[in-house]
Structure formats: C-alpha cells, structure tokens
Structure 1
Amino acid sequence: MRKRKWLFIIGIIVVILFLIIRYFEPEYAYMPPKEKVISKEKRSTGYDVWGKFITTEKAKQMNLSSDKGAIKINDQLLDLGRETFYKETYGNEVFLTDILGILDGPITLTNMTKAITALNGKGTTNLQVELAKTVKVGNKTFKKGEKIDTGIDVVKGTYAPLGMPITYSEGKAKVGISCAACHATTDPKTMQVMEGVTNPDLNTGLMLALATNSAAFFTHAEVKNIKQFMNSQSPVIKVRKGKKERLPNPEKLEKAVDQVLVKWPKGYFDSSIDMKSNPTQIPDCFTLGDHPFSWSGVAMAGPFKGLSVFSNNVHAQNSDSLSQAPASKALFGMSQDVYIATILQHAADQKYRYNPKSGKTPSEFFAKADPTPGVPGVNQMILPPSFPKITLMAPDGVIVSSKGKKVNEQNHAVSAWQNTLKPPKPPRKVSRNTMKQGRNVFTRAGCITCHAGSYLTNNQVISAREVGTEPTRAQAFKKTEKIFGESKMYAPNTNVPVPKDAKVLNVPTNHLNQEQIKLAWAKNGSPGGYKVPSLIGLCWSAPYLHDGGVAVGSSLKEIGIPGTIGKGKLVDPYQSLLAMIDRDLRQQVIISNSASSDLKTVRITGKGHEFWVDAKSGFSKKEQQALLDYLLSVEMPKK
C-alpha cells in the first residue's frame, strides 16, 4: 500500500510538472549574485536628458519630466539594466531556434546539457560540445562524436550557459541570447564573472555555420548579389501586386554562407548588414565617456549620448534578420517578399518554413506565423514614429521593447547600467613613476591628439582614409542614405504596446556636427570613418585595431590571428599593444594575416593606424615599455 501511495504521489508530481511546462512555458537565465562578480559598479543617480547628465537637485530646479525626454536614473533603472543584460532576449529564441536552427544541426540542446553536466559544477570559459551528427562545412568535415570549442562560458557552481536563456514553448525547448553571452566572461583562474569584458573565444561563426538554416544570416556573409544563386530552375513565387519573382537556391546559398561564417575567428562577430563579411572583435561594455558608439560612431543621438541606440542594435537587427524586411529593397536590392522568403524557405521549424509552391506570398505566410504581429521580424519591437525611415535615433528602423515596459526602457536601463561598469584591475602592477613616464611618452608621441581627455578619446570619427584600416566596415551604413529620415521618438513614459495618442518628441540633433554624421554614415560621397575609441580597459580588449587584426601571443613567435586565435593560443594584451606601436612587429602581424585565405575572405588584415612609437620614431625600448604599462593600467577617472 505504501509503495502504491508513493507511486501515486510521484505520478501527480509528474503531471503537475508537465502541466507547468506545457501551459506556463517556463524560462531560465542565469544572473550571477554580485559576490560572484569581479567587475565593480560605480552607481550615481540623476537624469539623462538627450545625452546630458543632470543631477537630481538640478533636475528639480529645471522641472524635468519624462514626457519631455528626461530619463530618471535610479537603482530601479540600474537593476533593470543588469537584469536585462543577463536575461532579456526580446524573444530572439524564435529566430535562433525555430528559424536559424541553431539546435537542429550537430549542436543539440541534449549534447550541450551533457557537456555542462560533465563539468560537475566546476565551470568553464569554453564549453566543449560533442557533435550529434557528421556535417561538412566548406572544405572541412566535422564528425559525429567530435568535440568542438563553443567559447560558451559556464560559471562555477552553475549548470546553465552564461548569456543563453533557455525557454520551453510550443512543445519544445528553445535557446536565446542575451547581452551577457558576448559581453561578459568568466575569469579562468577564479571562475568569477567579469561583467563588461568581452567573451574572447565565443565561437559565433562556427556555431552559426553549423545551424541548419544559416542562410537566414546571409546579409552578414559575402553575398555580392542574391541573383548569383538563381537560375531557370529556381523557385518562382507570387509577390505583392500579383508579380512573380525567383528565389535563390536554398542549398547553394546555405553552402556559400556556411563557407564564410566558418572563417570568422573566435571572439569575432559581424554586426553590419551590408552583404559583406567584415567581422571584428566583440567590443567590451566599458562605455562611460566612450561616445559616439558603434565602430563608425553612427550611434551618436538620443539618450546616453547614443548608447541606447547602440544597445538597440543587437536585438533590433543582429538577432533577427527579418526585422530589416521593410528596408530590404534599399539595403539589399531585394523586394520585401523575396527577402522574407530567402530567410524562411529553409527555416528549422515547419511553422516558419515558407513553401514556394503554397501559392501564398511570403508576406501573407509570415503574417500568420508571426509571434509579434504589427512589427517586422519575430523579436519584441515597436515601430518608432519615424518608421519605416532610418534615423539617427533608429538606425535599424525599429526599437526593441517588451510588452508591459515603457518604450525603449530596457535599452535605456542597459545603457545606464553599462555606464556604471569599471574594468577589473589589470594583473600587471605598475608603479606611479612608471605611469608618469608612460603618460609622458603618450603625450610626446602625439597619441594625445586623438586619445585625449579623461577617457583617452576625443569622441570624434576619423576618416577611414586617414586611419588606413580596411575600409568596407566604415561604409556599412552607406545605403541607408536612400531611406534616411528625421529623428523622432515617443516620450520615455509611453507604455508598450504604444497607444494611438502617444506623445511624439523631436530628438535633438542640431548640436551634432554634420561632417561627423557624414563620416559615421558614409553619406554624401564620404569614405566613412572609424570612431576614436576610449583606451580604458585595454588589458581586457585584445586583439586590437578597427578590424581586430593586431594579435600577438605571449611569445613573439605567436604572430597574427593564425599564430594565436587560429591555434587556440591566448592573445597577449602587452605584446599585441606593442604591435600597435612598433612598425617592425606590426609588419610581421600583417604578413602572418595575409598568408591566411580565410582572413582575406573576411577582410581582417591588421593594417592601418600607422602611428609609431618605436626606434625609428626616436623612442627607446624602455620608453615603449613605459607607454605599454601606462596604457594597460590606466583606470576610469574617479569623478
């Protein structure tokens, strides 16, 4: 009787658990308690008013209000920012799992779970996952049972990947991605979390290439013209107004995209959608004083000096290619229907897989499957008042915002929280005298001309021709000129969903330099440019340069990307920074990179920024060393 009783109780528990999973669709994302975090916050309260910080006392005198654009910075907003950083996906698990098929190829959730369980709580900076099937990508065969480096971090004492929330919906488990996957990592010695530090070995290219529908990411690959994948046998579909167009061959496009993605070095990502492959190292999140944002400085308007615009980019574009459908004609030379069909014709889940023989237009098909009707894409977004135009406030055309929150609230929260982060203490201890000597060399060498002020940046965009780094990334926003509009946004206190009578504000942009805008956006015949980055936290951001091409290992024999990342060697900040200022060492880096056909394909060279502090410029080895010690040890200003 007792045995039957326990079996009955267990049965009830199983049924309850099933019902919870089936109807409540639980989700889990790990957010470390602050005692497991090395990076420290430096919080302050006040208001942000279109990029200007106003103290609480002064805000009261000015009678500021959110319906005029003021954003209150307090512990509640900062806590939301940290939570958003670790947990928020805006629903991108639909794109990653159901459309891209990140778990339908040789990487499966079962095998990821098996790999995490095998750690026995020890944690790792590089989760090695056993492949569930054999696949060929480019010229390389990945065999079933082989373990691959994912670069996914697992914090000590946990059993979940950092920055990859797991949800259960529509009868299956799905994986999404939050900010923390790329912009946090674990310290290999203590296994504590370093917030804001780049995940240096996250193998995004390989994981995307192994997805079953990586063609959904084709705008980030080397696809010069989608028509090159079309012929007389290509599927013909009905599009808007009764017209007919052809689709690219899904197998050929998939193969071409895979061949490019697999060439991305570990720790690199291509966040531009210009149909060129130009990945660079994932940036850190030590953003205070580092405006304008993005590689070319396009994020320069609006709250937090453009940081909210930059924060929006990841989820309004990079984790949901469908979000750019309204701009597909201008950006990619494709009708909206062909663009949607190209992404969905080989979708992992049948619900989102478009059949060219269905007789429906791709737009009609997607409208019925779309989990977020009323906005492009599948992520949780709103249409700003400027939609469908691209603006300084909305370079992606849309704004991610979750139902029940305020417009842009999560972006503002992440921006405010990022600005509190201070880099961890560098491992090298440098004396005050050495810091003084290094600063003196920094000034004499002219570095201070661009890397000026408390944050070692003049906050300017410099022409790509002057910088000399590979130019295509500087021109990634060029085609947006065709659909550029006036910056408008709903007041920060506007609820989501946006009511019809929501207050619309004009975003102040008159204070911005028009020449800087031309450079950042490559407008009006401009060659485009690269922003002058802050040099705070250099110890944690190697490899260097605007294309991420300057990499050297702990030994000077480990040269370039092929000699370091390509061989699983750690990139050494000191030696890599030496290659930034020493022309002879840099030339060795360039030669090493140029010998790699993979790097040539994805445009990583290590060329440019030819501002030398070496013997030929009149500086001794001792002065070089002092400069490097200074640069790798400089901290956030205390004010």
Structure 2
Amino acid sequence: MKKRIIASSIISILLIGGYFLIKNISLEYAFIPEDDKTLNQEISISKIQSLGSEEETGTRTQIELGKEKFFSETFGNEVFFSDILGMFDGAFTLGNIAKAILKLKGEGTSNLQVEAATDFEAGDRKIKKGELIDTGLDVAKGSLTPLGVKVVFDEGRLKAGISCAVCHASVDSRGNVIEGIPNSDLDVGLALAMGTNTASYFSHTELANLKLFIKDADRKIETSEGELAVLPDPVELEKFTDSEFVKWPRGSNDTTIDLKNNPVQWPDTFTLGDHPYGWSGQGQAGSFKGLTAAINNAHAQNMDALSATEISKAVLDIDKEIYLGTALQNAANPKFRYKPNLDEKPTEFFAKVDPTPGVPGVNKLIPAPTYPKISFMTSVGMLSSTPGFHVWEEKNAMSAYMNSLQPVKTGLEVDKEKYKKGRRVFEAAGCISCHAGQYLTSNKLIKSEEIGTNPSRAKAFKKTEEFFAEPSLYSEDTPVPLPKDPKIEKVPLTEEEREQLKLGWAHGTSNGGYKTISLYGLYWSAPYLHDGGISVGENMELGLPNTLMKKIKPDPYNSLKAVMDSRLRKRVVEANLASKSMISSHISGDGHEFWVDESTGFTEDEQDAIIYYLLRLTDK
C-alpha cells in the first residue's frame, strides 16, 4: 500500500508539473509483482537444488531478495538515463507515459502506447507530435509504472531508471507477469534515440572516428596528455547516434563498447544449467558459474556509459577527456553539462558534480580490486553495488532468483506420440551432439568461424586484452562502502576455463565464439540466433525487416522452422540482407547450418515433430 501511495504521489506531481515546489522530498517506486500475479511454475528450493549444482542454487531469502532487485534495482542509472542522456526530455516523456498508464484504468498491456510530445526524425523513422508511439513497454495489471521502470523524484526532478525486468519480463493479455521471458517487442533503440543527448551513448554505434564530426575548431579542451583537442559538434553527433539506434530491431540492443553497432536479442533468464552467460560466453568466472559477473556487466557497463571513462583510451583509443567531454557536452540536466574550454578539463568539471565520487560514472559502483584494469569479472573494472549490502550480495541474489525461474507452459496441444517422434528426430539429426544433457547444451563455446553466424559480436571484447588483469574479487563479507583494507581473493580458474574464456573474450589469436544455448523456453524466445535474424511471422512474413521492424511479432513455430529448413532460411537471410539497416547493424540470420529437411533426408512430418518437441520441451 505504501509503494502505491508513493507512486500515486509521483504520478500526480508529474502530471501537474509542480514538482519544483517540493525539492526536499525524495520518492521512488518500481512495480514488484506478487507471486500470485505471475504465471511461472512454482518451484521449491528443494526442487531447484535437485536440478542444479551447489554453485547454482540459492536460499529462499536470496531468491526473494533477487526478485526484488530484478524488478526494482537500477543501481542509480536513472541519473545517466534522465540527467545525462535525456531519454525523457524529447518526444518520449515521463508525463506522457503516466497519462498512457492512467488511460489503462488499472488494466495491463504488453504495448504501452505513448503520445509523442514533439516531432521526431532519425534515419528512416518519422514521428509527429501527438502520434501514438508503440513502445513495447509492458504494464502489469494494477501497476503505475511499466515493468522494469523505476521512477525517482529527487533533487526537485523526476527521473526514471531501468532494471533487469524491462527487457527480461513481460505480461500476458490479462496483465499477469511472466518472469524471465524476453520482452521481444520493446523498442529500446527508439526510446534511446528520442533522448536529447543520445550521443552520450556513442560507443554503442558504428562510429569510425569522432573527428568526422568536428565542425567548430574553437571547442577546444586539454587532453590527459596535455595536448589540445576539439570536441565533436553535438548536433551532428546526435543526428548520427539517433540514426544508429533506430536500426535496432525491437527486443534487442548493443551491449558492448567497441564502436560497432552489433545489437543482440535479449535472451530469456531461465538460466539454471545454461552457462556460460552472454551470447559470446564472456560470463564464465566466479559465483553462479559466471552469471553474477554477467549481471554485473549489464549494470556496471551498459547502464552508464560514463563508467567507461578510465578505459576509453585502452579500449576505444579515445582520450578520457575527449570521451567524457563528448558525453557531457549536451547533458540533459544543466548541472552535468560541460562547456568546452581550456581552463577546466571535463574530468575536473565532472568531479564537482559527480553523485558517486571516487569512481567513474554516475551509477552506484565500487572499484574492483583490479581497477583501473579490467578482468573476466568486469569489462569496465567496476562492480555495481549499493551501500548497505555486501559487494556481491545483490547480484548473487539476482543469480539465485534467475536460476529459480522455470518456463511457463506454452498452451500447445498435448500429443505424446508426436513429442516422442520429435525426440527421435532430434537425436537422429545429430542435434544432441551439442544440445545434450539435462538442459540440452554442452555448456561450451563454439568458434565463430565454425558456427558461421555473423562474427561481429563475437570479437567485441578483443581490445580489452590490452588493459587486462588476473581476475580477483573482494571476500563476500566485504561491506559497501568498502573498508580501508578489504580482503581480496583470487578467482580460481582451470586451464579449460581459461581456454573457454579466451574464446569468449576473443583474446590472443581467437576471433571469439558463441555459446551453445540451452533449448529450454524456445517457445518464448523467438526470434533466434544471437542477432535475432531468424524471424518469421505467423503469416510467413520473412526476416526482421518484415516482422519486428514492422511491429509484427515472430511466430515461434515458423521461426524455429527457419532455423532448420535450408530453403526457408535462405529466404529469411535474403530478406534481412535486402535492408541497409540490417547490414550496417551486422544482422543477417545466417550460420548454424544444421538442417533437418529434405536436404538431409528428413520428411516434412519429421520436421514438424522436432519443432513440436522443442517448443513443448518444458511443458511438464
């Protein structure tokens, strides 16, 4: 009840527009569904422990904390998204989001339609003021905010941040929450592009060189080496970054800072037995078989571009003063807006307004033991942690919660004979050579050259090797804030794990690889492959340009058929490659050419049976 009152107060303040009158009040709200309002299968702790190893299971207390954090914890990223990037200062405003939710009158929706506050244009996207934007945001029945969106009223400003649930949970037609499935129609790329300073996120674009955007030679700053440099034109850079983000298909985003626009689709979070984590398998080391490290990477790197300031030279070949100055020169909140001059470096300016002094960025972070160097535990040398908890406590709890999730039943008709037949075809086709065991995965990485899918994402962490350290962590009983002399422990790695990590991070001579995913929950995770390129609609619309890019959800049966049918796949890849946006975003849908069709001696009935088997795999 208390949270609902707080949320009502925030929305009232937002709609009235009078929040400047109560600057000393601090409020926050995020929706956390009650257990009886979710559709996931109930699973007991004893059942979880029987399914997983000691390294993967958690206590009931851990799981409950993990659920709370999964739906509500932003680690302070509302500062980056609201004050720096200005996500809600353009066509997409918090006021209009609130109006759209109030129009639901307590009902839920899987696609919140929000009225555009201004005209918007980027790339081939044009939206007129007053037009309804299909956001793909999910609102649970009775909620006052979208799933995974935390609203904060602080310092006289209304802000919003993002938790795991915005991408990894959804609702059904009645507004009930389905935990752990990807929100496949959420248009994050568009939401980011509509921000007023999307250029602060430029490291996630196909940017050849910042110098291409220099227009005014008088916008000079001093670099960390004492040399003079000129910041790029904020207007021109903003146009470019906006045009890059609107290329992202719904249900995907770019998760690496390599100056490549290579979005990946969001995976489900039915994570038990599905290690290694991350599409390229970079999450392998540490607790919960690397899941905690993968969660940390999402919050420490992806949710705050400023956290990469100290590694920008090593990884992006951009001096940290240029990197930070570029990100802040058009910050939405004037408090964080840097004006280029030779009297004050960007880092000196930021130090005076930094809400989290002592660490780069604005999120609630602490330096890892290896800082400023990075390691297999953190791609930016930082750990996302909230004061009052132990260093790894919240993310370990999220790992335990995610490992407790089981796929919702599909609702497909029960046909025991077809299911058995599908299993026989699965084995006869050789799928079991990689997708074996309890979770139908070898838990290994496959070289990108071998799997044949688009190699861009697999190589994304390659340059990190130049600024790398042996992985270590603080002991699990270390409090936050850190004490003066925290206990540091090495993260143990076997030789086999080191070889797999070298592949996952594309270090040495490796070009990287992709994980062999578990086949659990396939019904809920279309489209398929890391780039989401295998997408077919219910009426056989082919490829991402004709499905998600046109607001048509991929059909799991037809999309899975395109995974294994050579002729259908060829048509899907052709449809993707006919789009310039897909080409420049490294999305094709090719590779993984393991056919179960007439070319390998299987009939249409056998193909139908294996698809049925895979989609109903977890209907138990």
Normalised TM-score (structure 2)? 0.94
Deviations 1:376-397 (CA, angstroms, capped at 9, x unpaired):
1000011111111211122331
Amino acid at match of 1:442: F
Q: What SS does structure 1 have at the residue aligned with 2:45?
A: coil
Is 1:27 the equivalent of 2:5? no
CA distance in 2, matches of 1:307, 1:259: 33
Is 1:420 the equivalent of 2:404? yes
Q: Is the 8 A contact 1:46 1:72 kept in 2?
A: no
CA distance in 2, matches of 1:117, 1:262: 28
CA distance in 2, matches of 1:371, 1:586: 50
Equivalences for residues 86-485 of structure 1 within 5 A: 86-188=71-173, 190-230=174-214, 233=217, 235-240=219-224, 242-357=226-341, 359-485=343-469
CA pair 353-427 structure 1, distance change in 2 beyond 3 A: same
| Cα shift at 1:140 | 3.8
CA pair 368-47 structure 1, distance change in 2 beyond 3 A: farther
Q: What's 1:617 paired with?
A: 600
Q: What's 1:503 paired with?
A: 487
Query: Which of the residues 557, 560, 577 maps onto 1:594?
Result: 577
Q: Is the 8 A contact 2:203 2:258 kept in 1?
A: yes
CA distance in 1, matches of 2:572, 2:290: 34
Q: What's 2:10 paired with?
A: none
Q: What's 1:59 paired with?
A: none
Q: What's 1:555 paired with?
A: 539
Q: What SS does structure 2 have at the residue aligned with 1:382?
A: strand
CA pair 18-388 structure 1, distance change in 2 beyond 3 A: closer
Which protein is bigger by CA-based radius of gyration?
1
| Cα shift at 1:464 | 0.4
Q: What's 1:44 paired with?
A: 45
Q: Is the 8 A contact 1:45 1:74 kept in 2?
A: no
Q: Is the 8 A contact 1:41 1:420 kept in 2?
A: no
CA pair 99-303 structure 1, distance change in 2 beyond 3 A: same
Q: What SS does structure 1 have at the residue aligned with 2:178?
A: strand
* Percent of aligned pairs with the same amino acid: 48
Q: Is the 8 A contact 1:593 1:599 kept in 2?
A: yes
Deviations 1:404-448 (CA, angstroms, capped at 9, x unpaired):
110011110000110000010012123222222111111111111
CA distance in 2, matches of 1:142, 1:531: 38
Q: Is the 8 A contact 2:23 2:156 kept in 1?
A: yes
CA distance in 2, matches of 1:176, 1:41: 29
CA distance in 2, matches of 1:180, 1:71: 21
CA distance in 1, matches of 2:48, 2:606: 43
Q: What's 1:10 paired with?
A: none
CA distance in 2, matches of 1:480, 1:587: 35
CA pair 216-257 structure 1, distance change in 2 beyond 3 A: same
CA distance in 2, matches of 1:273, 1:234: 28
Q: Is the 8 A contact 1:543 1:573 kept in 2?
A: yes
Q: What SS does structure 2 have at the residue aligned with 1:514?
A: helix
| Cα shift at 1:227 | 2.1
Equivalences for residues 524-543 of structure 1 within 5 A: 524-543=508-527
CA distance in 2, matches of 1:276, 1:200: 22
CA distance in 2, matches of 1:501, 1:140: 53
Q: Is the 8 A contact 1:20 1:26 kept in 2?
A: no
Q: Is the 8 A contact 1:234 1:247 kept in 2?
A: no
Q: Is the 8 A contact 1:46 1:74 kept in 2?
A: no
CA distance in 2, matches of 1:384, 1:608: 37
Number of positions where the alignment pairs a residue of Structure 1 with one of Structure 2? 602
CA distance in 1, matches of 2:494, 2:241: 41
Amino acid at match of 1:96: F
CA distance in 2, matches of 1:604, 1:80: 37
Q: List gaps (5 residues or longer) in structure 2.
A: 1-12
Q: What's 1:578 paired with?
A: 561
Normalised TM-score (structure 1)? 0.91
| Cα shift at 1:591 | 1.2
Amino acid at match of 2:586: R
| Cα shift at 1:19 | 11
Q: What's 2:8 paired with?
A: none
CA distance in 2, matches of 1:156, 1:358: 53
CA distance in 1, matches of 2:495, 2:393: 24
Which moves more between the two structures, 558-567 or 531-540? Answer: 558-567
Deviations 1:240-261 (CA, angstroms, capped at 9, x unpaired):
3543222111111111111110
CA distance in 2, matches of 1:240, 1:632: 55
Amino acid at match of 1:349: N
Which moves more between the two structures, 136-145 or 104-113? Answer: 136-145
Amino acid at match of 1:376: P
CA distance in 1, matches of 2:195, 2:70: 25
Q: What SS does structure 2 have at the residue aligned with 1:23?
A: coil
Q: Is the 8 A contact 2:151 2:158 kept in 1?
A: yes
Q: List gaps (5 residues or longer) in structure 1.
A: 1-13, 55-69
Q: What SS does structure 1 have at the residue aligned with 2:610?
A: helix
CA distance in 1, matches of 2:227, 2:47: 55
Q: Is the 8 A contact 1:209 1:258 kept in 2?
A: yes
Which moves more between the two structures, 511-520 or 164-173? Answer: 511-520
Which moves more between the two structures, 133-142 or 580-589? Answer: 133-142
CA distance in 1, matches of 2:47, 2:222: 54
CA pair 118-476 structure 1, distance change in 2 beyond 3 A: same
| Cα shift at 1:24 | 4.1
Q: Is the 8 A contact 1:26 1:167 kept in 2?
A: yes
**Alpha carbon RMSD of aligned pairs, Å?**
2.1
CA pair 575-585 structure 1, distance change in 2 beyond 3 A: same
| Cα shift at 1:564 | 1.4
| Cα shift at 1:136 | 2.3
CA distance in 2, matches of 1:72, 1:407: 19
Which moves more between the two structures, 33-42 or 568-577? Answer: 33-42
CA pair 604-625 structure 1, distance change in 2 beyond 3 A: same
Q: What SS does structure 2 have at the residue aligned with 1:422?
A: coil
Deviations 1:300-320 (CA, angstroms, capped at 9, x unpaired):
010000000011112101110
| Cα shift at 1:470 | 0.8
CA distance in 2, matches of 1:581, 1:46: 33
Q: What SS does structure 2 have at the residue aligned with 1:194?
A: strand
Which moves more between the two structures, 383-392 or 507-516? Answer: 507-516
CA distance in 1, matches of 2:512, 2:40: 34
Q: Is the 8 A contact 1:321 1:377 kept in 2?
A: yes
| Cα shift at 1:41 | 4.4
Q: What SS does structure 2 have at the residue aligned with 1:294?
A: coil
